[in-house]
Each structure stands twice: as C-alpha cells, then as structure tokens.
Structure 1
Amino acid sequence: MAVSFGCVLGLMVYLRAPGLAEPREDATGWSLSTVFDTAQAWLDGWERVSYDWRVRELGERSERPDEAVVVAIDDETLAEARQDDRPGVATQPWPRQLVGGMVHRLVEEGALLVLVDLPFTELSPNSCVDPRLSPQPAPNDDAGFRAMLDRDSGRALLAFSWESQGPRVLPPASRLWPYRVKLGSYATPAEARTRAQAVLAVQRPAFLIPAGSQVEVWGGATDEVDGHALGIRLGVSSAAIEERRAADDAWRMGPTDLFVSLAEVQVEGLDPTKLLEVRHLQHPVAPLMGGGSGYGSVTLPADPDGVVRAIPQLVAYTVRGQRHVLPSLPLAAAMRLADTRTLRYADGVLHVGDAYAVPMDASGFSLLRWDAPTAGRGSRGSLSRSIRAWNVLLNVFDVASERPARFDNDLEGRTVVLTRTAGEGGHLRSTPIGPETPGGAILGQALANILRSQGITRAQPDLDFMLTAGLAFSGAFLALSLSFLLRSVRGAVLYVGILVAAAAGYAAGAAYVFIEQRLWIAMAGPLLAMVGAFVVTLLYAFSTENEVRDFVQNALGRYVSPEVARLVTRDLNLMRPERRKMSVYICDIEGFTRLSEGLSPEQLVGLFNEYLTEMAAVVRSTAGQVDKYIGDSVMSFWGAPVRTDRHAHLACEAALKLRVVLEEKQDGWEKKFGRRLSFRAGIDTGEVVVGDMGSQLKSNYTVLGDAVGLAARLESVNKVYGTWVLVGDATAQLASDSYVFRMVDHVRFKGRSQPVRVHELLGRRGEITPRMQALLALYEQALTAYHQRRFAEAHVLFERASMDFKDSVAAVYVARCARFIVTPPPADWDGVHGLEDPGPTAVAA
C-alpha cells in the first residue's frame, strides 16, 4: 500500500508538463480526472516553492555576471527627457532615429552587440529629428533607423514577441493587387529577399517566383499606371507589368514570411514538432528588416503561479505547412558572438557552435540560473550593472555636436540590452529572486547563462519517479520497523523525530545536488510520499485482516465468484479503477412522450421491452457492454472489460445495425402496438475511468469521463440538425477508414470552454449511393464557402442541398447564412456556433 501511494505521487511527478505549463481548464464537475489534475497542480505548486528556495541558495554562492549590461529607459530617463528641448526627445516613444543613434553610440563605446528589447511592430509616426545622427539623408524615421543599423551591420539585434493562443490570422486578400510589376532577377534567394524587403517597405506584396536558376521579384500593383509608378519608385524605369495569376500566390512573400526567413535557425538533432507552436508573431515592420540585423524573441511565459523560471530558447512557427524554428533574443546574440547560424541539440544540451552550450529540454525551454539571491536595485536584476539610457543619449548628442562624450559607460567587450523599464507594469516580471524583475535583466541573465555555458538541468521524470517511490518505501519501512517505539510517549516523540530527520536529510541532499551539480531533482513529491507512506502504513498496521476481508466481500461478493473475491483480498490493487480510451454510445427514442400517449401501460412496457431487447442484442453482437437504461435512454460502451483498439468502429457499426433492425421491426410493431419507433444517438471517444462505481447499497461496472457527457449532448442536439446519429471528432478520426462521416458543425456547448467538431455518421465506406455522394460534394462546397465568409454563395448552395436532397442540415445553414448576409459576424468570427444545451439526458448527469 505504501509503495502504491508512492507510485501515485510518483506518477504525478512523472506526468509533469515538459515545458511551458499551460493553464488548466476549470473543472465543471467531480471526476477522477479532475481530482488527479487538482492534486497534481497542488503538488507542482509545492515543488516550485522548493525550486525557488534552491535557486536563491545557489544565487547566494554565485557572482553577478558582467557579460551583459542593461541600458534602461527608466523613469528617471523619461523625466529628464520631458524637460529637454531637443527635437523629438520629449515625445514617447522616441523617434527611431534617436534609438538608432543610441545603438551606434553603444557600439562605438565597445559593445559587442546591442540587443534592442523595444517593439517596432508599427510604422513610426515620427519624422527624422536630427540629420547629424544619420549616415545619410533618409525619407522617414524607419528608413533612417534601418540605415543606422546597417552602418553597424551585424552588431544589433531586434526583438519580436509571440502568442501561443488564438486562431491564426489570415493574410490580406490577394485580389486587392490584380497586377504585378517585375523588379529584378537575382541569383540567390538572399538577394531576392533583400529586394523583396524594399517592396514590402512601401506596403506592397512581393512575389518571389523561380525562373530557372534565378529568382524573379515582382511587386503587387492596382493597375498598370500604379505598376509603372512602383517600378520608378524602386529604381526600375521600364518594368514589365502583367496581370497577377492565381498561381502567383504560392510565391507571395508577406512581412511575416520575410521576417521568418531572416530570423529562423537550423537545429540539428531536435524534433521541431516538440517545440511550442506559436500562433501570432509581433515582429518589426518591413522597413526595419534586413540581413544586417539579428532577430530574437523576448516573450517570457510564466508558470501557472505567474513566476518566470525558464526562457523559451526555441519556438516553432508554421508558414504554408512548413515549420520554422525561431530563437530567443539571448540565443540569437550568442549565435552572433559564436559566428554561427546552426545549432546542435544532444543529450538535453543546446550547443551554439563550439563556443557555448546551455541545458534545454526537448520543448525548447531552458531553466534560468540566477546569479544573485535577489533582484538588485533599479534595472539590473541579477546582473552586475545597469546604465540609464539618458546617459547614453547625452553621449549621442555630445558626439553629434563634436564634443567629448561626458559619460564613460565601460562597455568594452560586453553585450548591451537596451530595454524599457518605465511606465507599463508589463516590463517587470515575477521571478524566483523577486516580484519585480525587469524583463531586460531577465534576458541579460539568460544571455550570461549561455555565454558561461551554465544552466539548470531538470532530472528525467524516471529518476523523479524512482525517488518518489523509493522514499515512500523508506517511509513505510520506518513506520513498520520502528513501531515498537510507540509504546511510550518518549518513544513516540523519537518515532516522529526520526521521520523529520529523514525528511530534512533528503531536502539537504536535493539542495546539495542542485547547488553543486545544477541538477533539479524532485523534492516536494518524494518528501510527501515518504511522510504520507509513513502515516498510511502506520494506520494500516492498526487495521485488522478481518476488516479487509469484510470490505472485499461487501464490495465484490455480489457479482464475482468466491475465488475472484479471495484473489482481490490478497491484492487490493485489483480493485483500482482503470483509465483507458473507449467509445461511449447513448441513444433514446425520438418523441417518446408523444409516442406513449394512447398506449396502455401493458402495451407501452411491451413495446419498450422489445426495443431494449433488440438494442441489447445489437450492442452485444458488436462486443459492446450495455451500461444502463434510464427511461427511454440507453447507454453502452466499447473497450471494456475486453480491450480493443476498434471501439470506435464497433460503436458506429452498432448504430448502423440498430437502424436496420428497427426498420425490419417497424411493420410488426405497428400491427402489434400501433406505433413505429425511431431513435437518435450520440457517440464519443475519449479517455474515461472504468470500474465498479456506486454506493454500498448498489454499484455497477460503468464508465466516468468527459466522453459520456459529450455523447449525451450529441444525442440531444440531433433534434437541432434533424440527424439521427452524431459523433465526436475523436470517433470520426478513428473510424474514418471504414465509415463515412460529414462534418455537421463546429459548436461550443454551454459550460465547455473548447469548441467541438460534430460529425454525422452516414454509412459504411463502399455503400454510399451516388445520390448521397452528390449531396456530400455539394454540401462540402457550401460549407467551405460558409467558413470563408462567402455567405451569399453558401446560401445558394445550401438551399440547393436542402431543396434537391431534402437535407435537414443544409436547411439549418440556409437560415444561418440568411442571418449572416443581413448581419455579418464579427471580424474575429471563427465559425464556431454557440449552442445552449438542449436538455442533456440523465445519463450525462
């Protein structure tokens, strides 16, 4: 029992989040799954507390790094700027020409690299403020900034951020540019991208079209006159102008495409599918992009408790089905310093060329090693130094006025993080070393970790599991071997004291391993397992064998043989519920209340019994299990107690067979009872808990899980669409090789945060009639138009399907399209239809 207790806790430790901990969904009811998730979240919380304590202990023994220096646009800098009368200084945000001047000045003062942790996601609203700052006249603030970055090519890195939630934003419609103008042919993709940047900088789409061994660059134009003007603007006086072809869209390059091509990195030995997939990129605007700059992410996701403990060194972003790997800003800086574009991942370590290495898990996250126990004053965080941006800006003005720079910032051979710490609270993050650590200082610490090839490695889940189970066994052993001490008060105190000493010894050992070897092994889980097993074993020692035997007989004696009961008595693990993937089927008689009117009780029971008999026979013929009858509803499941991987197929087969059986029985029932029967059904597949459940008075072998509730909802919403069998997305995916489905809708039920794809079961593959195939083709065409917001076109197609094929689902969409034509949905409409629960049956409850 003690070891089992330890294994449960060990499983919680083992099933920890591999990288970023996604927020947990709020539980909508009691279930074994929600209890497990709640317990695991509670255990993870205590583990994070123990981790933070070890981080601070390590920081006490470390020296603040000086490899990275923060240049902060802080409150004092902004206060000074508001009182300055030089052009643009008092405005916020500063003109980018001033930022470019600061970058150039930092490089001149000896900075190896300048990491610009500032957003440039929109075109600058400012104009150039001081011609002395730019190396050459610039038409606007963005062009001036880009020219200044190119002056120090390879020395500046720009930041981008990302979001991992929400639908992907579609690119602008290509029909806005019916013409294209040729702007040159280039031998390499890199040269073509440089030309494309110039096109994007003037807010036009670019097309990079292969032409033999070269790449042609074309720009979008509204008409031929506009095309000539664009060519002249970009230095091509006699440019070829053609109508844009639909095939050109495959070669279209937007700002995001250009940015990804400039920022992406190659990583040997890493599976990109395990990286965090991001949905949105907030990157610098096109005029600021160029090959002379590096790019890296500054997004710092927090754990569920809001504390930043790790940095995503690599994330994945998919463009046109191709996955690209994007680096963090510190990692991009380290690659510049190592003069490499290729990374190598092996044995939990990310290698940056042959110069640097940092621990990283397969999901792309690196735990931050903090070289200080607390965040320093001002903007430095755990770093050795920070500098006010105002000091740098004054140096810029001094040099521009041909005066000596007044501040010696001592930046020779160091990397600078130019960041903002004033104003918005989002620049300050909670970390293990303080509740208000500047984001720029966090980036500097991450860079220092890479440059020092230092970091924190988390132990493999297997090791944490074994430690948890091992300490549970140790706690049980102590409880049993020292139980004789309980005969006296002094002995009881010693008994508990030994447990406390053993727990303190493990905590000290875990801290030593963390500080000396930079290895994070689980602490909360093993300690709780030891204490819990100690207590459980002690309580178990006071129980009697007769009580256990009585318990087993009361629980199992009703439906198992005495031999099985004796086996379970010897091994209580056999009584544990089991989690497995199964398919659940729920159906009821359509219009049962109306149908039962006019029938005598004897006739009603007779008809109902015959229906249930046929239902049970069909379920058992497909190796299913009839769970329960509730009124006119029947619940069945496949996948237990006999395991099968084809539970979804069997559930669909049962639905089709039952329909045939009922059609064969209709005439006989009408003659005998004066009634005909039809039914509605819902099928869903998912992980459920299966086992004996109930009270001491009554129990049965049943299932518990989200799939049960969703199957009940699917059965109920048949009446909305006029269908007879609706299935969940997981069922349709598993059984699609043998059965034909069509997607009915993408709905969000009340009480569920995630939308559900609802499918209709149409029949077996190879048995679909030509008429049904024609309906499906028309329906798919209409549904595509509907989801692309072409509601007028969808209305016509759905109306054809409704009138020509008498399709009830199409009739639902006819009404919906008519409503959307009059009142279009909002711009962020994702096609999900909200449904009020149409009254789930008692099975769902």
Structure 2
Amino acid sequence: MQRLRIHSSGRRFLHRLGFSLVMAALFGCLLGLLVSQRVTGPTRPDDTPAPLLSPSGFIEGISHWLDGGERVFYDWRIRQLGEVSERSDRVVLVSIDDDTLAEAQQGPRADIAAYPWPRQVMGGMVHRLMEEGASVVMLDFAYPELSPRACVTPTRSGRGALSQDDDALRALLDQDPGHSVLAFRWGAEGTRTLPPTGRLWPYRVRLGSYPGVTEARARAQSVLALQRPAFLIPAGKGLEVWAGVADEGEGRNLGEQLGTAAASIQERRAADDAFRVAPSDLFLALASVQVQGLDPEKLPEVRQLQHPVTPLLSPASGYGATTLPADPDGVVRGVPHLVAYSPRGGERYVLPSLPLAAAMRLAGTQKLRYAEGRLFIGDKYSIPMDASGYSLLRWEAPSATRGARGPLARSIRAWNVLLNLFDTQEARPARFDHDLDGRAVILTNTSSYAPERRVTPIGPGIANGAVLGQALANILASDGITRAPPKVDMLATMGLAFIGAFLALSCSWLLRSVGGAFLFVCVAVAAGAGYVGAAGYVFVHDKLWIAVAGPLWSGGLAFLVTTLYAFRTEQDVREFVHSALGRYVSPEVARLVARDVSLMKPERRQMTVYLCDIEGFTRLSQALPPEQLVPLLNTFLTEMTAVVRATVGQVDKYIGDSVLAFWGAPVRTDRHAHLACEAALKLQAALAQKQPLWEKQFGHRLAVRAGIDTGDLLVGDMGSELKSHYTVMGDAVGMAGRLEAANKEYGTQVLVGQTTAQLASDAYVFREVDRVLLRDRPQPVRVHELLGRRGEFSQEKQAGMALYEKALIAYYGRDFLVAQELFRRCTVEHGDTVARVYVQRCQRLIQTPPPADWDGVIRWGRRSTDSR
C-alpha cells in the first residue's frame, strides 16, 4: 500500500465505513468477551480472586467493574418494573416486631415476656395460622441447638430422653403434616468430618434390626436425641441400629430406656465409624432433593450447615435454606434456590431454599426438573433459574416500605396471631380475621433482635423474611427475571460498537462547525439513550435482562475512537484509493477496497495466477520500428488489462510483453480459478477479433501463450518506503511461468496446473497434457490444457478429445504401439499438436522399453524436460 503514512506510523486507522466496521467488530468482540464473562449472582464460596497485577486478575477486575455498572442499570430497570407491578397477596408476612415484643412483655403470659419465646409457643402460632386457612407456614428461624427451655427427662416412650420444648414444637407441626417448612442456614466455611468417638464410647448396644432405611433412621434419631452416636450397620437385607455407650451397664440402661431390655452389648470396633449416622445425615435424608436435568457439579458447594436439632426432624415438614448471599456491592438481587453439600467429601446432596421447599409442599411433589433455563416444580410452578441454582427476584414494588412487609402486599403482627391463639386456648372466639385462606405465610423476626436487614434494588432495610416471601411469590406466579444468554449480550456489545462506528463516520461531517459538533454529540447520546430505553422496555415487558453497561461502553468508545481517526485520515484514504488502487484494479474493486482497506493487508491465501507472453516478441521487436512497436504493445496490454478487469482480476505487473495477473485478492472470491480461465478464453477471443486490424495497422499477427496455476500465495503491499507495489509471491507464480514456457514444446496456447483444473472443472473442459516432476517439488503434478467452456464443443472436437483420452490411457498402460497409432490419428485427423509430442515419445519407448517402475512422469527443469 505504498507504505502510506498511516501504515508506517503504526496508527490504527478507520479510513472509511467498511474498515471502521472491521475495527468496531474487533473492539466490540473484546468488550463482548468481557461482558460474556459475567457474574450473574453472588460470588461462589470456592471462588478465589486472581492477583490484580496478573493478566487474569486485570481482566477479572475489568469484568467486575463492568458488572458493577451493569448492576446499576439493572436496579433501575427493577424499579421501573415495580412501577407497573402489583404487590402479591399470595404470600403474607407474620412479623415478630418491636410492638409485638412490647405487648408480650406487658401481657399476662410469663412465658412470652422474654424473647426468644418457647418453641411450643412458636408451634402454637404455626398451628393457629393453619387453622386460619394458611396453605403452608414457613418458619424463618434456625433451631440448630436444643431449646434453652429444654427439660430433659429419661423416658420409656421409645425416643429416650427428650427436650420437652422441642418435642412440643414437633408435635404441633405434626398435627398439620405437609404444611410447615423449617429453616436451615449454610455457610462457606466449616468442617465436614465427625469428631472421633473411640475414647468416649468404647462399647455399643444393639437397639433393633429393621428392614428399611426409613425405620432404621427413625430409631437412630432417638439415639441422637440422647446425644449419643448412632450406627446403621448392614445385616443381611436389613439394617441394625447400634448406639455408642461408655460401659456395659450404661448399655443395658439405654436398652431398657429405648424398649430393648435384652439388648446385645459389644465392644465398639474402629470399622463402625464408617456406618456412623450424624444428625446431619438424618437432616440430609429429609431435606435433599433430586433435580432432573441439572448437573450438581455446577451448584455452589457449601461447607457448613446449621440445621434444626434432631428432635425437630420429621418427614411431616419441609426444610429450606434462608441464607441470602449478597452481590459484591452488598445488594441482594436473587435467591440461590439450590446448593450442594458433600458431608465428609462423599455423596453430593442438593438442598433447596426455603421458598422452593414451600413451593414443593404446595405443589404436593418432590419432583424437580431443570430445562431451558427454568426450574419446574412438578407440573404446577416454574421459575427462571441458571445452572448454578441462582434465581433473580422480580420485585413487585418500586421501593421498600417502612413496615415489615417489604415488597409484599400484607404483613400481620405476630401479636395478633398470639391473641387469636390465646383466645382459642381459652375457648373464646378469635378476635382477628386475617383472611389467610389458601395463602402462604412466612413467620419471621423483624424486631431489633432480628439479624441485619437486607439491602435490595428497591431500597435498604428489608427483612430477610420479606425477601424470602417475595421469592415464594415469584414461584407461585411462575414469574421471574431471565438473564439473556451470554451470546446475546456479546452480540449486543458488538452491535452497539458497529452503531457507534457507523454514526461517527456517517456524521463526521458535522464536526466542521461548533453547532454541528454539538449536534454530533447529541446524536451519540440519543443512540445510547435509545438502547437503554429499548433494554428497559424488554426488561419490563418480557422480564429479560439484556446487558446495558458493556454495550454502552463499547458503542461509546468505538464512537470516540472512530471519530478521531476518521477526522484525521479521511483525506489520506481518499487520495490513496483514487491514486494507488485506481491504477491496477477495476473501479468496482477500487470501491470495495475504499470501503474496507483491510482487504489489502498482507496475508497468505489461495489464489489463481495468470501469466501470458507474446510468442516471438523478440523477433517482432527487431522487425518493427519503435514508433510501431510501442503502439502495438500498448494496444495489446490495454486489451489484456480490460479482460482482467472484466473478470474482477488484478493486474500485477507488465514485464515487457508479459502480463502477470491474479484473482482472489484484494477482494476474496472462491471462484478465482474460474475467473482466470474465463479471462484466458476471453483474451483468445479478443485476439482473434483484433488480428485483422492489427495486421492491417502493424503488418503482424500476435500469438499469445499463457500459464495458469492455483496455490497458497503471499499477497500484500511490498516494497520500500519510496516505492511499493501490491503484488503476490509464491510457488504458483513460478509454476505459471513454467506452464507458459511449456506451451512452446506442446504447441498449446493455455496450460493450467492441477489445482486450477480441479477447481474449475465444473464449468470448463481440460485435458491432461503431461505428468511432470518439478525440481523443487517432491510429488509429480499433472499439467492440463484449457480447451474451452463446457457445452461449447462440436461433435468433431469431442471425437478428437475422446480419441486423445483413449491414446493417453494406452500410453500410461505401457501399450506403446497402440498409443502411438492413436496419437498418430489424433495428429492426422484433428491436427493435435500435443499428440505429435506423444508420437515421438512412443517411438523412443518402443525402441528402448522403460524400466519396470516407469510411471510416465517427466522431469522438468526451468526451461527443459527430460524423461524420468
């Protein structure tokens, strides 16, 4: 490209619209890749940030910075969606607030004067809510320890020494089986191993044999309630339940307490630890779920569980997590509905969130299915969720309220529920009608004793239970926010980069005045605002989250960079296109290159080369005076150039009477071989048409020989800073020259290489002329003659071609007598010059038969051939 200034300085340039689009694609792709590496939800517990100064850390930092900007636009859209939404009345919040605690302290019941209340009272509230019509009650309270009001008494009830407060809660929940959900919490840190038991419990007592694991676990639960280790040891087709004890006497007492008077007592073995059952094992058996279509390995793995104590475990209740991790900016935008837990590094359990567990109870199913970005709860509910188990919340309010209800339509003071409970216990009519028929209820603490309030997109100070209630409302409505696939965000980022570059170039003429510059900036701002508005519209109406921050940065930077380079290089590009390119390509190609200068960048690609020469030009140049020779040569070169341009080719150079042209650059085409063959035939036709005129003007007729070959060539602007040329280099150029020279030996006009014949054989007819081995190539190649276009041959010509083909088969079959006769007929009957060469070869081979390994390949030098 003449080593133009814009190349030598190494500046990135956008000369015209086409090249600017290429640059915008590259720029948009880089930002698009960063946008596609997004973080949908909170950081996974096992994620470790890379060092900031490392390349990966730098890229990760930019990605997090883009995510931070994206979250700002996301929160804005969430509030816009809340403006057109209605608060859900399908989930009701029952709040233990400060007013409730104040009333309790002044009330007649001493057991509720101090908080936390007895678990029996909590169970009574749950039962009362059921009686008032609640379809399910979620308790947003973790009970990882025995009740502080526990009263432990040895019994013979079959469960051993029990916590009366915990048992009372469990008994009240069991009165409404399937309608309660207890909470557990998880964390990123913790231990998965059980403490050693050998020193504390050297003996074990057998407490029964059971056919199924369910009955065995129920028995083990009674052992764990006594805070002793339990073991489920396989015995035949069943399971034996054993308990660890300190000595034989304690073993007999424990057996009697649990209804096994003649219990077997043995020394505990080290192998027993493999069958030990922990409270978490019982919990996991009750709480874990199976999700069809979801890979558990993609779920975040938690390392610590705070689950309800053993007396509270029962299949009559569901169990769900209340942990709500925040995004890096401290804002809760969604709920991890599914997490994974691997106790002691063994089986991987999938655990649900509290809202999901409640929805499963309402749907009456344990069946979960994940497909196409949605989690299906039976056949009744579904919710958008990604493969990591994270689901974005659709907030149904534009802002948080001052009360406890948050985004929900209603909240009820727990004191009102307590009063109704006390009234019914004293056989009085309940004084409050809470209208809970068919509604889900979440019982939570919003008082000053409650954990820290949550910061959400609709505002801070929202209670944990209100967030969980909103999550359940989303599930019950089968509604939520879907994040667009990474591919869509990447395409949006690239698309806005294209738009930014297009606007910069198409409106750059406005920069000629101050007012135009202001309008120019307004156009860019309007384009960005339009995209933000479109993304907001899609979010509100389709609940689809499309990236905004990344595309805006991509479009803005592309607009800015394109503006700077377009302003500085517009004149240089115009001069380059009209001067340099216009000299050796057609106007059509020049226009294409002007729109995309990158077409001329140096590269290696498959192309077809054409080299022609005037036969006997040396003799002709000596016979004609210069005033006749130069016009004749110029006329021929003009005709040749017109043919090349007509076939969208590129004239490389004139070397005396020779012309070198190529197809496939600067504009790519897969039909370069076809175009070169077409140019050769058109030149022959043009010469035949011009011969009478040239003979009249100059007294001579012109015969042209040509060689065509296809191969991988290096093409580009080559030369020095003072002079350069858009040209090609490669083996195909040399091969075309050899083919052009070989025409003299075979008496042909156009010889083509093997690759060219293969690529263009669907439209043109070729015949094999020879098989040659070049000095610089390891394998032989076949040389073909271009005969013409398919469908344009007379019957006589076809007969000659068939006879030649038959002779060639006999020749390579070593039947030289038959081949010589057939080639002789081709020469006599059809004037075949190539057949005349083979008649002489056959004569030599008949006189001197070739060796057994003869394959008919001829060794070519630069200007001569010899038999292999």
Q: The TM-score by the shorter chain falls in which range?
A: 0.5 to 0.7
**Residue of 397, 400, 404 corresponding to 2:429:** 404
Aligned mates of 1:236, 1:472 — CA distance in 2: 78
| Alpha-carbon distance change, 97 to 485 in structure 1, aligned in 2, over 3 angstroms | same
Unaligned runs of 5+ in 1: 130-135, 549-566, 575-845
Show the counterpart of 2:26: 4
CA contact (8 A) 2:39 2:67 kept: no
Q: Does residue 480 of the first structure (1) align with residue 505 of the second (2)?
A: yes
* 2:245 equivalent in structure 1: 221
1:216-265: CA deviation from partner (whole Å, max 9, x where unpaired)? 21111111111112112222222111222222212111011111111000
Q: Distance in 1 between matches of 2:84 and 2:493?
A: 28
- Residues 1:435 and 2:460 are matched in the alignment: yes
Aligned to 1:98: 121
> In 2, distance between residues paired with 1:569 and 1:326?
56
TM-score, L = length of structure 2: 0.61
1:317 and 2:308 equivalent? Answer: no
Q: Map 1:227-306; keep pairs closer than 5 Å.
A: 227-306=251-330
How do residues 457-472 of structure 1 correspond to structure 2 at under 5 angstroms? 457-472=482-497
Corresponding residue of 1:17? 39
The equivalent of 2:700 in structure 1 is none
Match of 1:394 among 409, 412, 419: 419
Matches within 5 A, 1:519-558: 519-543=544-568
Question: Residue 147 of structure 2 contacts residue 163 of structure 2 at CA under 8 Å; is this kept in 1?
Answer: no
Q: Quote the residue 1:773 is aligned against.
A: none
Letter in 1 for 2:383: V
Cα deviations by residue, 1:316-335 (Å, 9 ceiling, x for unpaired)? 00024110000001100111
Q: Of 355, 365, 376, which aligns to 1:340?
A: 365
What is the deviation of 1:542?
Answer: 4.1
**Following the alignment from structure 1 to structure 2, what is the Cα–Cα distance between the partners of residues 447 and 33?**
38
Structure 2 residue aligned with 1:415, among 440, 450, 453? Answer: 440
CA deviation digits over 1:377-406, x for unaligned, max 9? 311111110001111111111111111111
Q: Distance in 2 between matches of 1:303 and 1:128?
A: 42
Q: Tell whether 2:56 aligns with 1:33.
A: yes
Give the alignment of 1:281-680 within 5 angstroms.
281-320=305-344, 321-424=346-449, 426-543=451-568
The CA distance in 2 between the partners of 1:197 and 1:451, in whole Å, is 34
| Match status 1:140 vs 2:164 | yes
Quickly say closer, same or farther: Cα 1:199–1:25, change in 2 above 3 A: closer
Deviations 1:526-553 (A, max 9, x none): 11111111001112224559999xxxxx
Per the TM alignment, residue 36 of structure 1 is displaced from its structure 2 partner at its CA by 2.2
The match for 1:43 is 66
SS at the partner of 1:284? coil
The percent identity for this pair of structures is 60
Query: For residue 158 of structure 1, what is the aligned residue in structure 2?
Result: 182
Matched position secondary structure for 1:407: coil
Specify the alignment match of 1:53 in structure 2. Answer: 76
What secondary structure is seen at the aligned counterpart in 2 of 1:479? Answer: helix
Distance 2:387 2:537 in 1: 26
Indicate whether 1:192 and 2:216 are aligned: yes
> Per the alignment, do residues 201 and 499 of structure 1 end up closer, same or farther by CA in structure 2, a change over 3 Å counting?
same
Q: CA deviation at 1:120?
A: 0.5
Following superposition, the deviation at residue 54 of structure 1 comes to: 0.7
Give the CA deviation at 1:427.
4.2
Counterpart secondary structure, 1:299: coil
Cα distance per residue 1:434-492 (max 9 Å; x no partner): 11111101111111111111011100111100110111011011111111111112211
1:24-56 alpha-carbon deviations (Å, 9 max, x no partner): 878866343333222222211110010111111
Query: Whole-Å Cα distance in 1 between the matches of residues 52 and 213 of structure 2?
Result: 56
Q: SS where residue 348 of structure 2 aligns?
A: strand
Query: Which residue is equivalent to 1:181?
Result: 205
Whether the 8 Å contact between 2:41 and 2:327 is mirrored in structure 1 is no
Question: What one-letter code is carried by the residue in structure 2 that aligns with 1:435?
Answer: P
Q: Which letter does structure 2 place at the counterpart of 1:38?
A: G
In the alignment, the residues of structure 2 paired with residue 27 and residue 264 of structure 1 have an alpha-carbon distance, to the nearest angstrom, of: 33
Question: CA separation of 1:573/1:361 partners in 2, compared to 1, >3 Å: closer, same or farther?
Answer: farther
Deviation at 1:268, TM superposition (A): 0.4
Match of 1:621 in 2: none
Cα pair distance change 1:145/1:104, threshold 3 Å: same
C-alpha separation between the residues in 2 aligned to 1:455 and 1:82? Answer: 41
Q: Which amino acid in structure 1 is aligned with residue 124 of structure 2?
A: G
Instruction: Return closer, same or farther for 1:571/1:241 CA change in 2, 3 Å cut-off.
Output: farther
Which amino acid in structure 2 is aligned with residue 473 of structure 1? F
RMSD: 2.6
Q: Kindly provide the amino acid, as one letter, of the partner of residue 313 in structure 1.
A: H
User: Is residue 206 from structure 1 mapped to residue 223 from structure 2 by the alignment?
Assistant: no
Amino acid at match of 2:453: L
State the one-letter code of the partner of 1:100: G
Deviation, structure 1 residue 569 = 13
What TM-score do the two structures reach when normalised by structure 1? 0.62
Distance (whole Å) between structure 1 residues aligned to residue 238 and residue 603 of structure 2? 69
Whether the 8 Å contact between 1:310 and 1:365 is mirrored in structure 2 is yes
CA contact (8 A) 1:3 1:533 kept: no
Larger of the two Rg values belongs to structure: 2
The Cα shift of 1:82 comes to: 1.9
Change (3 A) 1:572 1:246: farther
What are the Cα deviations for residues 416-435 of structure 1, in whole angstroms up to 9, with x where unaligned?
10011112463410011111
Any idea what SS the aligned residue of 2:178 has?
Answer: coil
Q: In the superposition, relative to structure 1, how do residues 48 and 18 fare at CA in structure 2: closer, same or farther (>3 Å)?
A: closer
**Paired residue secondary structure (1:118):** strand
1:22 CA drift (Å): 4.7
Give me the whole-angstrom Cα distance separating, in 1, the residues matched to 2:34 and 2:350. 31
Give distance in 2, aligned partners of 1:155 and 1:400. Answer: 21
Query: Does the CA-based 8 Å contact 1:19-1:363 persist in structure 2?
Result: no
1:800 alignment counterpart: none
Counterparts of 1:452 and 1:55, CA distance in 2: 17
Once the 2 structures are TM-superposed, how far is the Cα of residue 91 of structure 1 from its aligned partner?
1.6
Structure 2: 5+ residue stretches without partners: 1-22, 153-158, 574-596, 605-868
What letter matches 2:207 in structure 1? Answer: L
Q: Which amino acid aligns with 1:532?
A: L
Q: In structure 2, what is the Cα distance between the partners aligned to 1:214 and 1:22?
A: 40
Letter in 1 for 2:116: P
1:97–1:128 Cα contact (<8 Å) kept: no
Kindly provide the amino acid, as one letter, of the partner of residue 299 in structure 2: L
Q: Distance between the aligned counterparts of 1:310 and 1:58, measured in 2?
A: 15
Query: Is the 8 Å Cα contact of residues 192 and 343 (structure 2) preserved in structure 1?
Result: no
Amino acid in structure 2 at the alignment position of 1:432? P
Q: How much does 1:361 deviate?
A: 0.1
1:195 deviates by: 1.5
CA distance 1:100–1:507, change in 2 (3 Å): same
> Is the partner of 1:157 in helix, strand or coil?
strand
**In 2, distance between residues paired with 1:206 and 1:423?**
40
How far apart, in 2, do the equivalents of 1:547 and 1:231 lie? 98
Q: Secondary structure at the match of 1:204?
A: coil
1:11 maps to a residue whose letter is L
Equivalent-residue separation in structure 2 for 1:424 and 1:465 (angstroms)? 46
